[in-house]
């Protein structure tokens, strides 16, 4: 019995020793859990790494493809050239009539606030008479400037606007122009119709001369004059040659996209535009603007918004995977609306697209054909032509070159 009992006790002791206590059980569970967790984490990391690597490769590939596409578009962007020797003949009698008409416009008594009142009457609530032409301050959240993305507003760009304004010592129309009792503006377009009319002398007599993009003066002053009060453009449109800038010009920048903010900041700080920023412009941009910071202004985007959605009644921008709606006005149309806010009377010269004659020169300064306008994708020139025709026939503006509606 004792032997049997001793064996039984020994067996029990060995079983008790073999059975885990509560402490050892907890310890085993902890060790097991730690081991399992470490194994799971390592396994997940191994599984995740190829996925992250694939995503990085995909991102890099997309960026490289986008840059390549931009480069190809730049390299292959060519326009049909016209034979300048076959430029349409300008009747000497037409030249005399155009010059006489321009002088008649200048000799009439200037009517204070005429352009604003006429626009408000013609478009009623669609035209704001008291709109600031240039950006004075960062808009508040409730203001129209923050409702849309560029070029119609500054949504998500408040900090960038503030950074730019901090670099501008002056933001309003120059005092010597504001002090004038009644101002006459002329917006000089780039149309080929200007070549040969010899309107330069008459254009120089206007109080405010607004020129668009890179339109040159050098070599063409007989036809387009040599006075510039405002050069209105965006980065790709800015003249590349220093000779096209005069010390007292106002450089009015139209901000169309995010990189435009970076470009303007570089111009104001006299810095080089980074290479990666330049890749996102569709053509070469100026590396330097030879003007002091006090001569720069930022166009109020509400002017573009009102021109597009209210006056021209284009549809508001829609999210698209590729391309854009034709809802962005040309610089010329925007400049004419701007002129009605700056001046009491407004004239225009060098406007008009004659799409029925695709082989005539599009511009007064190069050999690009009118037919090139049939391939542009951003602007609705037919709607704009109707708008300008309405302004001229209603007497709101005068067409000195007769490209939209000839009154001489």
pLDDT of residue 52: 61
Kindly state whether residue 79 falls inside one of the protein's structural domains: no
Residue 341 above 90 pLDDT? yes
The predicted-structure confidence for 18-51, as pLDDT tens digits, reads as follows: 444 444 444 434 443 444 445 444 544 544 455 5
The predicted-structure confidence for 379-405, as pLDDT tens digits, reads as follows: 788 899 999 999 999 999 999 999 999
17, 97: one domain: no
CATH code for the domain of 308: 3.90.1480.20
Classify strands 250-253 and 230-233 as parallel, antiparallel or unpaired.
parallel
The predicted-structure confidence for 272-285, as pLDDT tens digits, reads as follows: 999 989 999 989 99
Residue 211 belongs to what H/E stretch?
Answer: strand 208-212
Mean pLDDT score of the chain: 82
CA distance 121 to 119: 5
58, 174: one domain: no
Q: Are 185 and 210 in contact (CB under 8 A)?
A: yes
9, 137: one domain: no
Extract the tokens encoding 390.
Answer: 């309405």
Kindly state whether residue 312 falls inside one of the protein's structural domains: yes
CA distance 244 to 216: 6
What pTM, to 2 d.p., does this model score? 0.79
CA distance 242 to 251: 13
Q: Are 364 and 191 in contact (CB under 8 A)?
A: yes
Kindly state whether residue 404 falls inside one of the protein's structural domains: no
Distance of CA 193 to the CA centre of its chain: 26
Which residue, of 44, 74, 104, is where some domain finishes? 74
Which residue, of 50, 74, 98, is where some domain finishes? 74
Tokens 């391939």: give the residue: 375
Kindly state whether residue 405 falls inside one of the protein's structural domains: no
Q: Which pLDDT band, with edges at 50, 70 and 90, does 317 fall under?
A: confident
User: Starting at the edge strand that comes first in sequence, how are the strands of the sheet with 296-298 ordered?
Assistant: 296-298, 250-253, 230-233, 208-212, 184-188, 345-349, 397-399
114, 51: one domain: no
Kindly state whether residue 381 falls inside one of the protein's structural domains: yes
- In terms of phi and psi (left: phi > 0; alpha: psi -120 to 50; beta: otherwise), the region of 293 is alpha
pLDDT of residue 15: 41
Kindly state whether residue 408 falls inside one of the protein's structural domains: no
Q: Average pLDDT for residues 282-294, to the nearest whole number?
A: 94
101, 65: one domain: no
Q: Which pLDDT band, with edges at 50, 70 and 90, does 88 fall under?
A: low
276, 391: one domain: yes
Q: What is the 3-state secondary structure (H, E, C) of 230-248?
A: EEEECHHHCCCCHHHCCCC
The 3-state DSSP class for residue 270 equals: coil
Kindly state whether residue 326 falls inside one of the protein's structural domains: yes
63, 126: one domain: no
Q: Which of 229-238, 350-359, 361-370 has maximum average pLDDT?
A: 229-238
The predicted-structure confidence for 113-145, as pLDDT tens digits, reads as follows: 999 999 999 999 999 999 999 999 988 776 778
Listed in sequence order, the residues at least 6 apart from 70 whose beta carbon sits closer than 8 Å to its beta carbon are: 279, 280, 282
The predicted-structure confidence for 159-187, as pLDDT tens digits, reads as follows: 999 999 999 999 999 999 999 999 999 99
Residue, of 247 and 307, whose pLDDT is higher:
307
Q: Which of 232, 210, 229 is nearest to 339 (CA)?
A: 210
Handedness of CA 330, 237, 277, 266 (dihedral sign): negative
Per-residue CA distances from 191 to 55, 130, 182, 209, 369 (Å): 49, 31, 28, 16, 11
Kindly state whether residue 407 falls inside one of the protein's structural domains: no
Extract the tokens encoding 80.
Answer: 């049909």
24, 121: one domain: no
Indicate the number of domains in the chain.
2
263, 372: one domain: yes
176, 305: one domain: yes
The residue range of the domain holding 47 is 2-74
9, 129: one domain: no
- In terms of phi and psi (left: phi > 0; alpha: psi -120 to 50; beta: otherwise), the region of 167 is alpha
Which residue, of 55, 74, 93, is where some domain finishes? 74
284, 223: one domain: yes
């Amino acid at each position: 019995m004792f032997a049997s009992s001793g064996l039984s006790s020994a067996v029990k002791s060995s079983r008790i020793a073999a059975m885990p206590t509560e402490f050892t059980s907890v310890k085993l569970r902890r060790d097991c859990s730690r081991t399992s967790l470490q194994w799971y984490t390592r396994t997940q990391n191994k599984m995740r790494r190829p996925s992250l690597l694939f995503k990085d490769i995909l991102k890099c590939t997309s960026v490289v493809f986008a840059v390549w596409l931009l480069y190809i578009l730049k390299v292959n962007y060519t326009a049909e050239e016209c034979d300048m020797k076959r430029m349409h003949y300008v009747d000497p009698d037409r030249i005399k009539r155009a010059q006489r008409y321009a002088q008649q416009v200048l000799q009439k008594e200037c009517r204070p606030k005429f352009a604003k009142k006429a626009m408000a009457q013609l478009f009623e609530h669609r035209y704001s008479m008291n709109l600031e032409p240039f950006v004075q301050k960062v808009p508040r959240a409730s203001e129209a400037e923050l409702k849309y993305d560029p070029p119609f507003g500054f949504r998500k760009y408040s900090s960038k606007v503030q950074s730019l304004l901090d670099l501008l010592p002056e933001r309003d129309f120059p005092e010597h122009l504001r002090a004038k009792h009644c101002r006459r503006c002329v917006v000089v377009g780039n149309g080929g119709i200007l070549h040969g009319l010899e309107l330069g002398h008459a254009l120089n007599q206007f109080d405010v001369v607004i020129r668009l993009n890179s339109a040159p003066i050098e070599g063409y002053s007989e036809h387009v004059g040599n006075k510039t009060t405002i050069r209105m453009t965006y980065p790709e449109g800015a003249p590349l040659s220093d000779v096209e800038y005069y010390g007292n010009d106002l450089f009015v920048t139209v901000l169309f996209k995010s990189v435009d903010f970076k470009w303007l900041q570089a111009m104001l700080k006299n810095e080089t535009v980074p290479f990666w920023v330049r890749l996102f412009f569709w053509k070469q941009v100026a590396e330097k603007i030879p003007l002091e910071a006090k001569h720069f202004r930022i166009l109020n985007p509400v002017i573009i918004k009102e021109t597009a959605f209210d006056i021209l009644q284009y549809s508001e921008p829609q999210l698209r995977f590729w391309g854009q709606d034709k809802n962005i006005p040309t610089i010329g149309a925007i400049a004419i609306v701007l002129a009605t806010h700056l001046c009491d009377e407004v004239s225009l010269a060098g406007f008009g697209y004659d799409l029925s004659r695709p082989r005539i020169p599009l511009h007064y300064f190069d050999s690009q054909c009118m037919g090139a306008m049939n391939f542009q994708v951003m602007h609705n020139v037919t709607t704009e032509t109707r708008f300008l025709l309405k302004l001229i026939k209603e007497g709101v503006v005068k067409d000195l070159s007769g490209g939209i509606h000839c009154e001489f």
